[in-house]
Chains A and B, each alone.
Chain A
Amino acid sequence: MKKLPLSQLDALFAAIAEKRRLYIPAGEAGTASFTPWREGLKLTDALNTARSAKDLFFPQVENLADFKVTGKQIQVIENRDPAEPFVLFGVRACDCRSFDILDKVFLCDPVDTYYQARREQGTVVTLACTEPEETCFCTALGIDPTDPAGDVTAWMAEGFLYLRANTARGEELLSSLPLLEEGEKPEQDRSVFEKLPLRDLDWSAFGGERMMERFNAPQWASLAESCLGCGTCTFVCPTCQCYDIKDFNTGGGVKRYRCWDSCMYSDFTLMSAGQPRPTQLERFRQRFMHKLVYYPANHEGEFGCVGCGRCLQKCPISMNIVKVARALGEEAKP
């Protein structure tokens, strides 16, 4: 394990940024975001960013291809943003787990080469949590916030930053930083995590089995009744990955781009032939069924939620996955 006095954090960031682009979580609570590091940029005091770290691998908008149309002829011009090496510093355990979930979607055959290129170029440095929010429930999903995964794991304790490489890519990063010294991190007091109000969330009602039972639960009507049908939960969620493909006529050609989409939106499944999810109830249900039932059914029981708590903090009407889990879990009890 390596260490560095926290007073030298800026020097560390400068050293990393010398060779590649570095992103750190910066800004105030509520709007903090992963920001390209520049001289003087400080780490945020907030526990987590408003938008999740998925943005760096699956951005809200990206170009797929350009087309040039001349008469009856079409020319396809591959014009993707070149993926360059970057370091993502300060990713929390929850967001880091979300990468595993997204990998299973984007890296299976046929691989999504846009996502893959960014994954291959990104080195993830996670940061262990010490001061959780009451909305945190990663521990209820088997994630250890005090020992997150990633290429490198970082801890801040007693005036030092401790760094442990977990992968070859992480080793490479640390070995390129001469200002690090050897050191062992002190034992962390985990007692605050034992006090988290959502630590005991019961997920036993969910998973791939009993799909139809969960789908047909009468609780969906009251859970969804005041949903505004906005995309806030979807867009701040680290595991939501539905997208739309759109064409934009630039005048000189056509830009085909991909952008985030939300199953909460009324036009998500709209066809000229009809609408299989006609009300917000069906759309709302789809989002939670996907995370808690459909995704696990296809991925060995793993849930499509990492317990980051963003939907708890951001939903305009305070409806969220925890309330869904409580309501449906309660119903499922014998």
Chain B
Amino acid sequence: MQERVKAKAIELLESGCRVLGWKAGEFFYDVTPAVFTSREEIERDFVFNPFCGANQSKYLIAESRRGGRVAAFLKPCDTYSFQQLQKEHRILRENVYAVGVQCPGMCDMDALRAAGLRGVTGAEDRGEKLLVHTLRGDREVDRSLALSERCRVCKSKKLLDCDEMIGQQGEELVSTRFTEVERLEAMTPEERFAFWRGELSRCIRCNACRNVCPACSCEKCVFDNPASGAENKAPASSFEENLFHIIRAFHVAGRCTDCGECSRVCPQHIPLHLLNRKFIKDINQLYGPYQAGADLETRPPLVDFQQDDPEPSIVGERGTNP
């Protein structure tokens, strides 16, 4: 895949595009999103490997406004964000050349570390297996072990709105992504409250979740605006932190494509995606199945009104214990 993507990158560059891609790092896994403007740079630094998990669609908001065309390589889940951002009029589609790249699931270094691998200096992709080099020798592990959570429960391999594709077009999948949400729903309100208080207590308010989120594309976030009354860098009480995440989840509700970037970037491993998934699951149940970013036309249920929409009280009733 690396060679095909790289060759395409050179081709697109030579056709006059800037190329948004990934730049190789110190190790095999620490790739950085970068815009390439010369063939030498691509040949030297361009990389596309199982660690290119970052969703690059948000960069296209700025890149599509920079003048000229920008080419981007989007994985199936990235294309949902790409399309959702178009739906919100944030990306100038005509300035983007989108190459869909089929994806076998992306790996996550933290998953490898959580599996007890330490001092990892390299890895070789061997299909179902990953041969991992460490400071203390090699270890072969199942590739599934290195997959990030979002890829283990992948919702779709479908590439949307691409100008061309590398690899086969895929299908929407039957995903188990709501299993964890169901587990939380089965808790008593007290247990659930304790769960979230515990998880959110680790928040350091670095704003990585917000800044990476394609749905968080406000020019000036209310939490950064001194005039808003909600601006804050640190909690004056520990509950403020919790509210930050809950408010953010509300703000992206109906627009979140479940790309999982919030949880990927969280330095404290807070499962933020579960808040969003809960909203998605509720929206599906209350208003009928809806996938943000799946198309450009469907009206998002939260900004649409139908006479047979359920009354808001249904939420309150359901929240009480039987």
Residue numbers of A with Cβ under 8 A of B are 28-31, 33, 45, 47, 50-51, 60-61, 131-134, 192, 195-198, 222, 225-226, 228-232, 234-236, 244, 246, 248, 255, 257, 259-262, 265-267, 312-314, 316-320, 322-323, 326
Contacts and interface: CB of A to CB of B under 8 A. Distances in A.
B208 interface: yes
13 contacts: A45-B116, A50-B269, A60-B205, A60-B234, A131-B119, A196-B135, A231-B207, A232-B206, A235-B204, A260-B233, A267-B226, A312-B30, A318-B31
Given A29-B114, A232-B267, A323 B211 contact: no
Interface of B: 25-27, 29-35, 54, 59, 109-110, 113-114, 116, 118-121, 134-136, 202, 204-208, 210-212, 224, 226, 232-236, 264-265, 267-269
B26 A198 contact: yes
Contacts of B269: 30-31, 50
A314 to B, nearest CB: 4
Given A61-B234, A226-B59, A47 B118 contact: yes
> Which 10 pairs from chain A and chain B are nearest by CB?
A259-B234, A316-B265, A318-B30, A230-B208, A228-B211, A248-B236, A226-B33, A314-B267, A231-B206, A232-B206
A111 B162 CA distance: 60
B133 to A, nearest CB: 9
Nearest to B113: A29
A30 B32 contact: no
Nearest to A267: B224
Contacts of B30: 312, 318, 320
Query: Of residues B32, B121, B211, which shows the largest number of chain A Cβ atoms within 10 Å of its Cβ?
Result: B32
Contacts of A317: 32-33, 54
Nearest to A259: B234
B204 A266 contact: no
A226 B54 CA distance: 11
Given A197-B27, A248-B236, 17 more contacts: A30-B114, A33-B202, A50-B267, A50-B269, A60-B205, A131-B118, A192-B135, A192-B136, A226-B32, A226-B34, A231-B204, A231-B206, A235-B206, A236-B204, A257-B236, A261-B233, A316-B211
Contacts of B268: 31, 50-51
A235 B268 CA distance: 11
Contacts of A314: 267
